[in-house]
Amino acid sequence: ISWNKANSLGLNKLEQVNSWTESNGLLYKSYLVPLAVNTYSSLAGRHFQHPVMHKPPWNYVTLDQFDNFVEDNGGRDITLCHILAGKLGFTFEPIDPKAVGIARSRGSQWDTQDYNFSGILGKLHRREEPIHFYLGDTTQTYTRNSAVDFSFMVLADSGAFVSQAPSRFVPNDLLLRPFGWPVWVFTLGSMLLVWLVLILLLEYGKFMYHNQ
């Protein structure tokens, strides 16, 4: 039984992992495929490059006045990457997406002609160097899952302040509160003007009646 065995160095090689005979069955009574946790327990010092964008609080990136990449200033995802690098034994280097010929975007538009994404996801989908992975706030969609692999969610933050709900209270002046003092000045002035006009019309009517 041969298997295109994956290893922590990223080199796949067809190797014999077990043998089987009709009389004895499998030679090795172990897992045919080793567990992923064992295969990738150490990445043996591999070096990865991953794109970074200015997306606080996930990543903080400094750009100069000409929109050129200056440095990566860390963030939540970079801190997470440092922790993973220490646990799994690899090094990483943040790079500017524009330096490898793509836009500073994750790539949400699916090109129906080229059957590919733009931006970072398109680079990963095409397996083009030097990008090896992307760590950041990326929404999973059906189309994206068909193009690239997503890890499990590392954090889900609601981005909201939670407080007590207000009690149900309807004040007596609820309908009057939205109107400021200028509205009331014009309203009272209009009522006074209408009152004067009505008086003048009434007196004019009396005058015309007596003259007839």
Considering the domain architecture, whether residues 143 and 81 belong to the same structural domain is answered as yes
pLDDT in tens, 47-105: 988 888 888 888 888 888 888 888 888 888 888 889 989 988 999 988 888 888 887 77
The residue range of the domain holding 18 is 1-36
Considering the domain architecture, whether residues 81 and 139 belong to the same structural domain is answered as yes
Listed in order, strand segments (DSSP E) in the chain are: 2-5, 13-16, 20-21, 25-26, 46-51, 61-63, 69-72, 90-95, 110-111, 116-117
- Give the pLDDT mean for 19-25: 80
* % of the chain at pLDDT higher than 70: 76
pLDDT reported for residue 197: 92
Distance (Å, whole) CA 139 – CA 158: 14
Q: Does the structure show a pLDDT above 80 at 15?
A: no
Considering the domain architecture, whether residues 89 and 5 belong to the same structural domain is answered as no
Lowest pLDDT segment from 85-94, 168-177, 186-195: 168-177
pLDDT reported for residue 111: 63
Considering the domain architecture, whether residues 1 and 91 belong to the same structural domain is answered as no
Considering the domain architecture, whether residues 92 and 47 belong to the same structural domain is answered as yes
- Give the pLDDT mean for 1-22: 73
Number of domains in the chain: 2
Q: 88, 114, 147 — which closes off a domain?
A: 147
Within-domain flag for 26: yes
Q: Does the structure show a pLDDT above 50 at 163?
A: no
Considering the domain architecture, whether residues 83 and 3 belong to the same structural domain is answered as no
Mean of the per-residue pLDDT values of the chain: 78
Considering the domain architecture, whether residues 138 and 120 belong to the same structural domain is answered as yes
Within-domain flag for 98: yes
